[in-house]
Structure formats: C-alpha cells, structure tokens
Structure 1
Amino acid sequence: MSAPHHSPAGSPAGSMAERYGAPPVWRKYFLLGVVVVVVGSLAVLWTWITLAQSDPTVSSELITSEIVDDHEATAVIRVKWGDDPVEAHCTVRAIAHDKTVVGEETFEPSQDGSGDSIDTTVTIRTERRATAVESVGCTAEGQLRPR
C-alpha cells in the first residue's frame, strides 16, 4: 500500500489555491473599498445627526406640577429658545394612576424679548383625577421632534 501524497503545504488533499485556483486579486480591494465607503457614510451621518440635534430651535422642561382637583392639573413649563425668535408649540399631558393620558394641553409660549427662556403656567383639564404631569416638549418650524 502506498502512503498518501503530501503537498508542500502539508495537507493530504493539497492547498485550496492548488485545488480551486487563486481568488481574483480585485476581490480583496473591492471589499476594502465597500467597507471604507460604508464606514465613511455612517461617520458623516452620525456627525450630521449630532450637530443637527445638539442645538434645538426651542426646548422645554417641566419645572413643577400640581394636581388641583379631579378635573384639573397645573404645570409650570420653562421654554428656552435658540438664537432666533420662533413660533413654538408645546404640549403637556396629565397622566392617571393606570398610566392613561387623561388630559392634554398644547400652548404657544410668547417670547417677550426679556431673555432666552420664559416660565409658563399651564392649566390642564382632565377626564378624571391625574397623578402626574408630563412635558412632551416643544416643536417649531424645522424641528419636528418635541424637545
């Protein structure tokens, strides 16, 4: 019986290149190019998203809230504007114990020119007793996501 034939690569069946032929040289460079384009595109997209979202036109925060009675809640909302005065629409919600929205109020804060922010007291009419008040946020032209 004869011993199996060993190729110089050391495997009995021979190397992959000997058996199937060498892969085309361009394949390695093509794959590298695709990876570079995808990573570069993602980096540009991430940078654009970061810069666009870092300085909103208008933003808001809930300062305080009070449940007045079974059908009313109040909230003080601080609205902050960016560099230019814009017309903003802000939304506040009243939430019941079972996490159901029982009242919602959308208002337009007035920018009176006395600074870059203003505190606004909002009264929310509710269907039943609320247990919490949530500031959804403010939107403006060109800023569709509430902030």
Structure 2
Amino acid sequence: MSVSGVTVIDRTIHETNFWLRRIMDRLKTDDQQRAFSVLRVVLHIIRDCLPTEHAVQFSNHLPMLIRGLYYEGWRPSHELRVAREHALGILETELGPFAHDLSDIEEMVTAVIDTILDGIDESSGEKLIRMLPPSLQKLWLTGNPDP
C-alpha cells in the first residue's frame, strides 16, 4: 500500500520503520520515539567522529530518510567536531534521559551499531568499526566478537 504515492518515499519510510523496529527489538521496547532518538544521537556521534570524507561515504549506505537524520545539523567545516576520546562521554550525556544506568547506554549504542551493520555490507561494516573511537569499538566488540 502506498503512503505517499511516490515509490522512493514509500520505500524509505518502510526501510526507516524497519530499522526502528530492529532497534526497538534489540532494546526490548515498544517506544518508537525512544528508538528514533537513540538512532539520531548515535548517528550524529558516528558522523562527528569520522573524517569528513568517510562520514560522507558512510552516509551512502543509509536509507534516504535516515541519511537525512544523519546530516541534520551537520557543519563539516565547523572546527568543534567530536574528539574521538570524548565520544562515549557525549553519548552518556545525550542518551542519559533514556537510560537508567551506564549499561543501558551501552545497550542503546550497541543496538544502533548492530542495526547499522545489519543494513550495510560486511566490508563497509568492518571499515566503519575500525574508524570508530576505541570506546565505541569496544561497545560493539563486546557483543560481537567477530567484527
């Protein structure tokens, strides 16, 4: 059934809802707004930790609607990009309202990273993991011993 009457828009809405359901399943929640907010925060941290060229290349693997979310508010020439060593601290601050403790934050980040990796090819996923700050790599590797 067409929602918008435009195939490409319907497809990206479907893909976005699929990603949100995957995150919701991983977080064991029915709260789609929470899944969306967590996805947004983690995507922005990933984007801001990657070199500009890699951030743009990575976005090509995202569904169109999620790609727009990824680019929301991005200023690639802005000098206050996220320092790799501060990524986890920023995630703790941004995701804090959705968490009871640090393990919840780790679970949220892992849920989003696993969903991203499920949606992209294996070599791109491995490349993404290698480019993430060590604190985020550790979160992903904790639940996935074979990157």
**Structure 2 length normalisation: TM-score?**
0.23
Higher relative contact order, chain-length normalized (CA < 8 Å, sep 6+):
2
Structure with greater proportional helix content: 2
Could you say which structure has the higher strand fraction?
A: 1
Larger-Rg structure: 1
